[in-house]
Chains A and B, each alone.
Chain A
Amino acid sequence: MTGNVMTSPVGEMSGTRQTAVPRMRRRRVMNAGDRIFLAIIRSAALVPVLLIILFVGILIAGSMPSLRAFGLRFLFNSEWQPNAEIGEDYGALPFIYGTLFSSVMALLLAAPVGIGVAVFLNEVFTSRLRGAIAFLIEILATIPSIVFGVWAFFVLVPFVRDGIQAHVQAIFGTGFVLFRGPPLGIGLLAGTLVLAVMILPMIVSISLEAIRMVPSSYREAALGLGATRWEMIRLAVLPPARSGLIGACILALGRALGETMAVTMVIGNKNVIRWSLFEPASTISSVVASNFGEAGGDNALMLPSLTELALILFAMTLIVNLVARFLIRRFAGDKAVIA
């Protein structure tokens, strides 16, 4: 869509696709101001493309020493030894695990709630307060992450420790691997929960837009055929909004993958893979952000390794976006109201 808008003036200018008549007309219309404007927006369109190329180029150049030293092993190595005297050794696996585990879990928790809230606000809750609530949710989306971090540290962590972990471990014991761990409250679950809270408003506000775009005639048709309100939502509202809902989830996942401060305050920052909700873990963005400043020194491979982690995070978000496009095309197809 956008691609066509961008490229069509170029095609018309060079006259490859257009007949003579519109070209004549165009020439008459194209005065100096138009030409300058066209040049400006054309170079503006180039900026993001150049930025991405530069960005990836710098990341690859910066991580070259680490790519050469560790190769593919970097992806599967769990070591993080920043000591040149003992022998530097870096690996990304625990960070990839921590990032994926916390982000995907957060999405699984937040998506049903977020879409539920959106459906409720648009389909069920008809009070005039609706606008106010939607506005408040958007405000929630603008709260800086450090505020969430402080809240998570002082409220969520004790709650996870005394309110969740204590009970879960009392019921299941500490034998089951998913529930093992010291009674700290700090760990993967706390990181996951704070991420879920942070991405919730985003899911709500985008889902709400998507659901709002579904024509009322769909709802009326469903109700006219004798559908209950639940059937109407299930059959006439959610399917046409599906691509928008998927988009909301993907954007939210993107935010969760890149979130740094709030997570680093509660996740424990330990590069281990222990497959437990109550054990500490570490994420890519937090390890990069917190170690970048001091990464120089005599550790020749530390900065390149951190850069390679950034490259991996970039690749992960790219894959998430590609998967999202695939999903939207696959499931929404031509039936989509919102492209």
Chain B
Amino acid sequence: MVKRFVQVMCASLALVGGWASADVTLNGAGASFPAPMYNKFIEEYTRIKPEVKINYKSVGSGAGIKAISEGTVDFGASDSPMKDEQIKAASGGYIVHIPTVMGGVVPIYNIEGVNKPLNFTGPVLADIFLGKITKWNDPKIAQANAGVTLPDTAITVVHRSDGSGTTAIFTDYLSKVSPEWKAGVGKGSSVKWPADSSIGAPQNDGVANTVQQTKGAIGYVELIYAMSNNISFGAMQNKAGKFVSASMESVSAAAGSLQDIPDDLRISITDAEGDGAYPISGLTWILAYQNQKDAAKGQTLVEFLNWVTTDGQTLAAGQHYAPLPKGLLPKVQAQIKSIKVSQ
């Protein structure tokens, strides 16, 4: 009822104003992780195409999935792909997933006297966050860090208190490398943190500041956040056994080295194979209905997505996001092509 009313109102307003035919406005909402990137995309794209107006609201992945499912936005955005049941429940039919950029999640810590980047293996990181390793001088940590003197300090685990795509990627990775984590905690944008010593802090800066203020603390933040704030972070051992520090190249490599990529591109790229792949990496997606009911909007959205996944990718590095690997592009463009715009 209300939606219908709003639609009628908008339509009549558009008729009165006479601007409907010339200008198109797209409204999107969702993940906060890529929000700075999307704002940059939008800024550049609307400079090239001034007749297009795009709004993006950073409300969180869960809220983005909800918004597109209920049809209150023209596109949604999420850091984790929608489940089959969620797509089935959406009001406007099938939803396609278009990856836009990539990001990594890095462990940060505050240990007195340790300035060298530490090495972590997946199982050790999982054991720390499970609360099974409680001291920094635990032999399991020392094993991967020969030559570093680790103190007898208690570990305080700092995690995100708000639901977040960063947590989703991080816990997805821990679930892959630790059966105990998978069975007891699992993956998600918020989980039940098992470590006795754990505390929650809001947002990336909350986690980073809490870690910096607390001796013996370990936390996780987005790679872009750590890089733009010059926070040093640990290297992770990847599936090939190599210790890899997160960078735009190593994050891109995580998606580049994937072998069997499903056509619908709903993939997790944590713990990826390949020597140079950073293991705690993730894609972020724009969500759009395959059947676009509004021809003008649908056409604009397809053009925007084409630009984002091709020319727009050159903007990623400047914003500290990793661009999509070239190998992924054919499948991405096939997905965009599958969007039907009714005439």
- Which residues on A are within 8 Å of B, measured CB to CB? 79-83, 85-86, 153-154, 157-158, 182, 184-186, 261, 264-265, 268-270, 280, 282, 286-287, 290-299
Contact assessment for A80 and B164 in the assembled complex, using a CB-CB cutoff below 8 Å: no
Contact assessment for B191 and A82 in the assembled complex, using a CB-CB cutoff below 8 Å: yes
State which of B142-150, B196-204, B238-246, B326-334 sits at the interface with chain A: B196-204
Contact assessment for B192 and A82 in the assembled complex, using a CB-CB cutoff below 8 Å: yes
Contact assessment for B63 and A294 in the assembled complex, using a CB-CB cutoff below 8 Å: yes
Assembled-state Cα–Cα distance A185/B83 (Å): 41
B window 261-277: CB within 8 A of A: none
Our pick among B32, B188, B199 for the contact of A268 (Cβ within 8 Å) is: B199
**Whole-angstrom distance between the Cβ of A145 and the nearest chain B Cβ:** 13
Q: List 24 A-B contacts (CB under 8 A).
A: A82-B190, A82-B191, A83-B187, A85-B186, A86-B184, A158-B213, A182-B197, A184-B156, A184-B214, A185-B213, A261-B202, A265-B206, A269-B201, A269-B202, A270-B198, A286-B161, A287-B161, A293-B59, A293-B61, A293-B163, A294-B163, A295-B163, A296-B65, A297-B65
Assembled-state Cα–Cα distance A293/B167 (Å): 14
Question: With an 8 A cutoff between CB atoms, is B229 at the interface?
Answer: no
Question: With an 8 A cutoff between CB atoms, is B162 at the interface?
Answer: yes
**Whole-angstrom distance between the Cβ of B188 and the nearest chain A Cβ:** 6
User: Residue on A with the closest CB to B214?
Assistant: A184
Residues of chain B contacted by A293 (CB below 8 angstroms): 32, 59-63, 162-163
- A297 with B213: in contact, given A268-B200, A270-B199, A286-B161 (CB under 8 Å)? no
Assembled-state Cα–Cα distance A81/B191 (Å): 7
Our pick among A86, A264, A291, A298 for the contact of B163 (Cβ within 8 Å) is: A291
- For the complex with contacts A81-B192, A83-B192, 18 further pairs of A-B residues with Cβ separation under 8 Å are A79-B192, A83-B188, A83-B191, A154-B209, A154-B213, A265-B202, A269-B161, A270-B193, A282-B200, A293-B63, A294-B61, A294-B165, A294-B189, A296-B63, A296-B66, A297-B62, A297-B86, A298-B83
Assembled-state Cα–Cα distance A261/B190 (Å): 18
- Which residues on B are within 8 Å of A, measured CB to CB? 32, 59-63, 65-66, 80, 83, 85-86, 154, 156, 161-165, 183-193, 197-202, 206, 209-210, 213-214
Contact assessment for A290 and B162 in the assembled complex, using a CB-CB cutoff below 8 Å: yes
Assembled-state Cα–Cα distance A295/B198 (Å): 21
Residues of chain B contacted by A282 (CB below 8 angstroms): 161, 200
Cβ-closest 5 pairs across A and B: A294-B163, A293-B60, A269-B200, A290-B162, A269-B161
Residues of chain B contacted by A294 (CB below 8 angstroms): 60-63, 162-165, 189-190
**Whole-angstrom distance between the Cβ of B56 and the nearest chain A Cβ:** 14
Assembled-state Cα–Cα distance A295/B190 (Å): 8
User: Residue on A with the closest CB to B82?
Assistant: A297
Assembled-state Cα–Cα distance A296/B76 (Å): 13
Assembled-state Cα–Cα distance A292/B165 (Å): 13
Assembled-state Cα–Cα distance A81/B183 (Å): 13
Residues of chain B contacted by A292 (CB below 8 angstroms): 60, 63, 163
Residues of chain B contacted by A265 (CB below 8 angstroms): 201-202, 206
Residues of chain A contacted by B59 (CB below 8 angstroms): 293
Assembled-state Cα–Cα distance A261/B201 (Å): 11
Our pick among B185, B189, B192, B199 for the contact of A297 (Cβ within 8 Å) is: B189
Contact assessment for A82 and B198 in the assembled complex, using a CB-CB cutoff below 8 Å: no
- A296 with B186: in contact, given A186-B199, A264-B161 (CB under 8 Å)? no
Residues of chain B contacted by A296 (CB below 8 angstroms): 62-63, 65-66
Residues of chain A contacted by B189 (CB below 8 angstroms): 294, 297
Contact assessment for A290 and B202 in the assembled complex, using a CB-CB cutoff below 8 Å: yes
Assembled-state Cα–Cα distance A185/B184 (Å): 29
**Whole-angstrom distance between the Cβ of A296 and the nearest chain B Cβ:** 4
Contact assessment for A182 and B188 in the assembled complex, using a CB-CB cutoff below 8 Å: no
**Whole-angstrom distance between the Cβ of A276 and the nearest chain B Cβ:** 13
User: Residue on A with the closest CB to B165?
Assistant: A294
Contact assessment for A80 and B186 in the assembled complex, using a CB-CB cutoff below 8 Å: no
Our pick among A80, A261, A287, A290 for the contact of B192 (Cβ within 8 Å) is: A80
Assembled-state Cα–Cα distance A184/B197 (Å): 10
Centre residue among A154, A157, A293 by max chain B CB count within 10 A: A293
Assembled-state Cα–Cα distance A295/B65 (Å): 10
Residues of chain B contacted by A261 (CB below 8 angstroms): 202
**Whole-angstrom distance between the Cβ of B169 and the nearest chain A Cβ:** 13
**Whole-angstrom distance between the Cβ of B212 and the nearest chain A Cβ:** 11
Residues of chain A contacted by B63 (CB below 8 angstroms): 292-294, 296
Residues of chain B contacted by A291 (CB below 8 angstroms): 162-163, 190
Residues of chain A contacted by B209 (CB below 8 angstroms): 153-154
Residues of chain A contacted by B198 (CB below 8 angstroms): 270
User: Residue on A with the closest CB to B83?
Assistant: A298
Residues of chain B contacted by A185 (CB below 8 angstroms): 213-214
Our pick among A81, A157, A270 for the contact of B213 (Cβ within 8 Å) is: A157
User: Residue on A with the closest CB to B203?
Assistant: A290
User: Residue on B with the closest CB to A80?
Assistant: B192
**Whole-angstrom distance between the Cβ of A175 and the nearest chain B Cβ:** 18
Assembled-state Cα–Cα distance A186/B199 (Å): 9
Our pick among A86, A264, A270, A280 for the contact of B186 (Cβ within 8 Å) is: A86
Assembled-state Cα–Cα distance A292/B66 (Å): 12
User: Residue on B with the closest CB to A86?
Assistant: B186
Assembled-state Cα–Cα distance A185/B199 (Å): 11
**Whole-angstrom distance between the Cβ of B282 and the nearest chain A Cβ:** 15
